[in-house]
Structure 1
Amino acid sequence: MDTIRLPEWGRVRVPDLTNDQRERLSDLSVAWKEANRLPALPLSFEGTDGKTLVTRQYVGVIETDDIAIEIYPKLDKGIGETDTLAEGKEKSVLANLMWMLQESGYDDLVDTGDGGLDESQESFPDLFALLMAKRLRDELARGVPRSYERFEDDLKTVRGRLLVGEQATRNFDRWDRIACTFDEFTPDTAVCRILRCACQTLQGRVRHAEARRVLSECLGLLDEVSDISVAEALHHANLLPPWSRGMERFRRPFTLAVRLLRGLSHDLLAGHRDTFVFLLNMNRVFEAFVTAALEARFGVPIRTQEPIGTLLKTKPGGIQQKPDFLWKTEQGIWIGDAKYKHLTAGMEMSLTFAKDETAPAGRFLSPDDIRQLTVYAELVRRQEALDTIPHLALFYPFQGSEAQLRADSTLAWNDSILWLVPVLLRQQSKLASILPVNFPEAHANETN
């Protein structure tokens, strides 16, 4: 199977893709957009010949038959400067992504299709494990599957059918033990044993906290099921009878569980028209990540997407306003917005304000972003009848030098103190360390 790796917001020529492959990938992209009511396609083919692949802020995998498109987030230095992904970069990118997900508790995963997975060495293993566990937990919560299974045991009284031969040989001098074979309506079925094996195996290998938690929930629901080895699970998976109507709802998580046991992988089975779509919206991931960092830094609850008023006084429908972050400290009320824009791609330094128009901040900031934040400040000031104007902060991803991780501030037109806050996208021992140490500090730049 052919795999094309590129970063989000990438643009690459794909002349070797056939018309059929491009059409199938486009159909998956459209289906995912419609199913999740997105404003734009996660990927598309553009250009006069339709052979330029273009991606947006959605990262993950779109697979169909013999082609897979892997879209990686720009979480490593250098990726933001190119439309291709260097060999070996995917491992460090995924490590950073999983750390972000783990720290922020972000688990809003979206998928469609009937994932066909097989053996491969690397690609979103923790995310796939979480996807399988969430699917399985939802089905188990509706009821653990049960069926009549045949058992043999030595009992004190006859149950089912007496095993004359075994009684005569094994229990010939033990009349307190009677060899019997009987049917029992139980959850300890072959399918459940394989699912339990997958959950136990994955739980010992994944690092994502949410994945481990959901896997633990699945194991709790499968508590009455026997343990088997991976080798036994894969052997029995090939011997299962056709799926019954009552078990059909477990087919998708079961198929994914078996594929993950075979290698925690995602290559498609050759010759099958299986599809798999697994995508994350990096805008929302970044917002959740910043929320967690702010709570770690300030030690107060961060209110997210909370309505603060409307732009029009007409009712109903006055164009409601919802800032990404709203919190209170001794300094007053803070309002923040997370902008997943790589404003400093290829730069070692954070954005700074200066008195002349050639300052980096002046070149890269969007007027719309500043207007939006200051309108938020005015709405909150009026709603809360504040004597002081709220502080403002705009958070953006930063890939440059850790030594240059510095926030800067200035006065906005409405006299709010406006902060530009870079957010480091590399793993740190403490979550609060992804924010600059000088945020917040005495506002030395208020007169800029």
Structure 2
Amino acid sequence: MLNSIVLDELQSSAESVDLDPEVAATLRDTGLVTVLPAHGGMWTILPAGNVGAVQVGQLLVEVKPKQKVGLSRLLFLLGYAANPGFRPDDVAGVEDTDLFAALGESLARHGLRALDRGALSGYVHVEESLRTVRGRIRVGDQMTRRPGMLLPLEVAYDDFTVDIPENRILRAAVRLMMQVPRLSGDVRWRLAHLDSKLDGVSELRYGVPLPVWTESRLNERYSPALRLAETILRNMSAEAGLGRHSVASFVVNMATVFEDFLTTALKEALNVYPGETVGQYPAFLDEVELHGRTGDRVRMLVDIVHTIGRQPAMVFDAKYKAASPSGAYPNADHYQMLAYCTALEVSRAWLVYAGPGKPRLRRIRNTEVSVVEFPIDLSQTSNDLLITVKSLAESAFNEFWVTRGPGIRSAS
């Protein structure tokens, strides 16, 4: 019988549970939870700063995001951060129940829909050694690798095959999902049926970067399945057996997810305005020392900076952490934004928090700097999330235009 433990991301206390020491060690190694020994051979399981699910043998441990961010929203944030072409309907219908069951069901449904008319084929460039001529002979490689030899021949040709990036990604995700323990018989059968439809597609080796694919009219029916498959491959792992227990894990850091999503969404929203949006913008807080050494300077990496004419114009910082019970945000965040504004010579910065509420402006005393606290409620629908980010981009650019707009042409 499967035992389940459900924790909230911000939970700070929990009742002790009885665990096998091997299970406790495996849980701790996933990074999803901290596992601490308690009295009487019991263990205390608490969130470790990440969200997701881990299944070890007959134990399923889930850590839910704050604000009741459901699985479909989490998958959208992950998918959009990696690819702004990811659409809300790519995760439509995902149930906010058991994470692995929902992922397996969604992958099976999207995959079968993609392969309804059979596996997609395409041309792949191949370079190999053959005993007959096919395509063209790579003369340079032939002379370098086999001087004076007529056979085998180094040739290059384009092969029309099902072994294309789209099918490799989909099959890799299907095979990974099939290793998850205790999926329903129906889901497992459909995944196996998908795998059989992709016969002849080579396997992706673990740890190798995912092959690149480009959305087009030809692979349009594959897009939802591929985006979900990429999310699974980037964030999930599964082992058929580790010690005496099978293990599956899907673990993400919500602070990183939120920052990556905001960076991508702001780049898209600000793309209609002059300038360029850069994530992890490098800068220094202090001046260059007189003797020229820079190794001990105070370095900064600003979450998001929009530049115009190569000069910083708008500064954004993503903060996933919650506000205090009174609704106040940490003082250190405002110190940080003041430092960014001072070093980058901008008069306004945007602190973007993951949470409900309304924007609030704070003017920093004895300076010309203002900090805008801009909450984004992650429990909104995916479309509303993007609308909110678009509103943020519009507000930031309008503010820039009011304060520095007249010089924009000379700066760009």
Shorter-chain TM range is 0.5 to 0.7
* SS of equivalent residue, structure 1 residue 121: helix
Q: How does 1:279-294 map to 2 (within 5 A)?
A: 279-294=251-266
Q: Does the alignment pair 1:422 with 2:349?
A: no
Return the offset for 1:407. Answer: 1.0
What is the match of residue 316 of structure 2?
336
Against the structure 1 CA distance between its residues 285 and 127, is the aligned structure 2 distance closer, same or farther, given a 3 Å change threshold? farther
- Asked whether the 8 Å contact 2:27–2:35 carries over to 1, the reply is no
Which position in structure 1 is the counterpart of 2:58? 66
Task: Please state how far the C-alpha of 1:380 moved relative to its aligned partner.
Answer: 1.0
**Per-residue Cα deviation, 1:310-367 (whole angstroms, up to 9, x for no partner):** 447453132311110111479x82212111112277xxxxxxxxxxxxxx55xx2212
* 1:282-305 deviation line (CA, Å, top 9, x unaligned): 111101222233334443432111
The structure with higher relative contact order (CA 8 Å, sep 6+) is: 1
Aligned-pair distance for 1:69?
2.0
Deviations 1:148-189 (A, max 9, x none): xxxxxxxxxxxxxxxxxxxxxxxxxxxxxxxxxxxxxxx999
2:51–2:254 CA contact under 8 A, matched in 1: yes
Q: Residue type of the partner of 1:341? A: K
| Cα offset, 1:72, TM superposition | 2.5
1:230 Cα offset (Å)? 5.1
Task: Give CA deviations for 1:108-135 in whole Å, capped at 9, x if unaligned.
Answer: xxxxxxxxxxx963357669999xxxxx
Which residue of structure 2 lines up, in the alignment, with residue 10 of structure 1? 11
CA–CA distance in structure 2, aligned partners of residues 20 and 415 of structure 1: 58
Aligned-CA RMSD value: 5.2
1:318 maps to what in 2? 297
2 CA distance for matches of 1:430 and 1:236? 37
Q: Which of 72, 83, 91 is equivalent to 1:95?
A: 72
Which residue of the partner structure matches residue 390 of structure 1? 347
Q: How far 1:98 sits from its partner (Å)?
A: 1.6
Task: Tell me the CA shift for residue 432 of structure 1.
Answer: 3.8
Q: Deviation digits for residues 170-221 of structure 1, max 9, x if unmatched?
A: xxxxxxxxxxxxxxxxx999xx89x959937989xx9xxxxxxxxxxxxxxx
Q: Is 1:433 paired with 2:387?
A: yes
Aligned partners of 2:7, 2:385: CA distance in 1, in Å? 28
CA contact (8 A) 2:283 2:301 kept: yes
The 1:393–1:198 alpha-carbon spacing in structure 2 relative to 1, beyond 3 Å, is closer
Whichever residue aligns with residue 52 of structure 2, its letter is G
Q: Secondary structure at the match of 1:321?
A: strand
**Structure of greater Rg:** 1
Kindly report which structure 2 residues correspond to 1:251-400, keeping only aligned pairs within 5 A, or say none: 272-298=244-270, 299-300=272-273, 301-311=276-286, 313=289, 315-328=294-307, 333-343=313-323, 360=326, 364-381=328-345, 389-398=346-355, 400=356
Count residues with an aligned counterpart: 283
Q: Does the 8 Å contact 1:428/1:434 carry over to 2?
A: no
- Percent of matched pairs sharing the same residue: 17
The question of 1:199 aligning with 2:170 is answered: yes
1:418 deviation in Å? 0.8
Q: Alpha-carbon deviation of 1:232?
A: 8.8
Partner residue, 1:412:
364
Q: Kindly indicate whether the alpha-carbon contact (under 8 Å) linking 1:406 and 1:437 is maintained by their aligned counterparts in 2.
A: no
> What is the distance in 2 between the residues matched to 1:248 and 1:290?
30
| Cα distance change on mapping 1:397 and 1:196 into 2, 3 Å | closer
Shift of 1:373: 1.0
Whether the 8 Å CA contact 1:412–1:418 is kept in 2: the answer is: yes
For residues 188 and 436 of structure 1, what CA distance do their matches in structure 2 show? Answer: 42
SS in 1 for 2:321: coil
**Counterpart-to-counterpart distance in 2, 1:323 and 1:265:** 31
Corresponding residue for residue 88 of structure 1 = none
SS in 2 for 1:278: strand
Aligned counterparts of 1:128 and 1:230: Cα–Cα separation in 2:
9
Q: Secondary structure at the match of 2:66?
A: coil
Change (3 A) 1:417 1:22: same
1:105 and 2:82 correspond: yes
User: Given that residues 302 and 326 in structure 1 are in contact (C-alpha distance below 8 angstroms), is that contact kept between their aligned partners in structure 2?
Assistant: yes
Residue 56 of structure 1 deviates from its aligned partner by 2.9
Quote how far apart the aligned CAs of 1:74 are: 2.0
| Gap regions ≥5 residues in structure 2 | 85-98, 111-123, 128-158, 178-189, 211-228, 401-412
User: Does residue 43 of the first structure (1) align with residue 43 of the second (2)?
Assistant: no
- CA shift digits 1:221-279 (9 cap, x unpaired): xxxxxxx9954956999xxxxxxxx98958x99xxx9xx9xxx9989789953333332
Distance 1:268 1:391, change over 3 A: same
The alpha-carbon distance between structure 1 residues 98 and 128, as it changes in their structure 2 partners (threshold 3 A), is farther
- Counterpart CA distance in 1 for 2:248 and 2:305 is 37
Structure 1 portions without partners, runs of 5+: 30-40, 77-91, 108-118, 131-140, 145-186, 207-227, 238-245, 346-359, 382-388, 444-448
